[in-house]
Amino acid sequence: MPLITVNPATGEQIAQYDEMSPAEIDRIVRRAHDAWCAWRDTSFAERAAYVRRLASILREDSERFATLMSQEMGKPIAQARAEVEKCAIGCDHYAEHAETYLASEMVETDASTSYVAYRPLGVILAIMPWNFPFWQVLRFAAPAFMAGNGAVLKHAENVTGSALAIEDLFQRAGFPDGLFRTLRVKSANVEPIIDHPGIAAITLTGSTAAGKAVAAAAGARVKKTVLELGGSDPYLILEDADLDLAVAACATGRLQNSGQSCIAAKRFIVVEPVLETFQQKLADAFREYRAGDPLSGDSDLGPLARVDLRDELHRQVEDSVDRGATVLLGGVVPEAPGAWYPPTILTNVQSGMPAHDEELFGPVAAVIAAKDEDDAIRIANDTDYGLGAAVFTRDVARGERIAAERLEAGSCFVNAFVKSDPRIPFGGVKESGYGRELSRQGIQEFVNVKTVYIA
């Protein structure tokens, strides 16, 4: 069966691609390994020149890359352009800082000389999702290549065009032939690639279910993995919060990328004294978002990436309502072609409802009442996920204490929505995964942390 891409705004097929045979994949992985054997001995300065060319081409060809993303997964064009620029910024960051991040560290022992060196591992298999088709790949690839690794990419089927454009990007930047390749393969056929002796490690961004399957397969081969999985990020709105600031951040955090982000704001836990006011302000903010053609430039909200994803989201909304939640806004599937879903707010959300217990991957906000700060923190941590979290309060010291000490998540923000940044590490705890991307911690994931001891 071919890999098919569909425009989610219209439901029309864009293209179809033949799946690669096992023999072709074997040749690609072996060629990547051969290319890596030379690449690993290049200097940081040499690698940086290639990675800076990636950034340059990304900026030069931004409109084409952005349009492709908008067509394949429905991202509003302004957000797609911003994603391309973020990729370029990430490349620039690692081109500048990788050598410092991976500098050998002298350690005083009873040896004449002893130190820790960071050496590349080999070819990394990157299994990436559709929601940020370029950023998810480049945020892994830039540090991986600066560390001296090679890579093969298994991208989501519905963004195959983007995956091939990224491969072309590396070729245009002049990287050694075969060092980075895209594998056209369905998810069901990934396990043999994990098993391939030319694959040194695996990084996956995706659902928790996919992460568990990849971790099991990689673990059976004793191969390193980094997993960035699902999230159900809680945003705590305390009684002393600046509600206008909080609502603006919450609306952006929930509706950016049409709500299709692992670190999107998903559960809004509001203390009772400000609950009603917050709900009304949030509804007013949601009504300001304009849904429409992702390529128009006038849209804040695009469709979901696929109709089946939209239908699953609506099932979660309906199930939550059947269990007692109230629809404050939205909640009705539009009678139009494509994978559209309106900005939706559910109130009276409680434990036992999908809106409380599951990840809602789309423009649906779940508002949960809390008695006070301690109750809000309890609810926030009452989840299998632990990717991001935010707290809103005018008392910054109070917010910092809650973020730093009490919330169980990999990224905790105060008076701002959760986002990734090349300068700070990104990743989760619990069923949101393990390992880190970005910053120093991200580039150190896929290296051999080597002790060198000279008597």
Give SS3 for 92.
helix
Active site residues: 228, 262
Listing DSSP states for 205-264 in one string gives ES-HHHHHHHHHHHHHTT-EEEEE----EEEEE-TTS-HHHHHHHHHHHHHGGGG--TTS
- Quick one: which of 24, 27, 13 has its CA closest to 185? 24
> What distances in angstroms separate CA 11 from CA 73, 208, 285, one per listed residue?
11, 27, 29
Is the distance from CB of 165 to CB of 58 less than 8 angstroms? no
Report the alpha-carbon distance of residue 414 to residue 394 in Å, rounded. Answer: 10
Report the alpha-carbon distance of residue 131 to residue 226 in Å, rounded. Answer: 18
- Quick one: which of 257, 283, 445, 277 has its CA closest to 365? 283
Listing DSSP states for 270-316 in one string gives EEGGGHHHHHHHHHHHHHT--B--TTSS--SB---S-HHHHHHHHHH
Contacts of 80 (CB under 8 A, 6+ apart): 65, 66, 67, 69, 70, 294
Is the distance from CB of 439 to CB of 142 less than 8 angstroms? no
Listing DSSP states for 127-142 in one string gives E--SSSTTHHHHHHHH
Q: Residues 387-417, buried b or exposed e (16+ Cβ, 10 A)? A: bbbbbbbeeeeebeebbeebbbbbbbbbbeb
Report the alpha-carbon distance of residue 193 to residue 202 in Å, rounded. Answer: 10
Helix (H) or strand (E) holding 414: strand 411-414
Per-residue tokens: 5: 């891409």
Task: State how beta strands 265-271 and 364-370 pair.
Answer: parallel
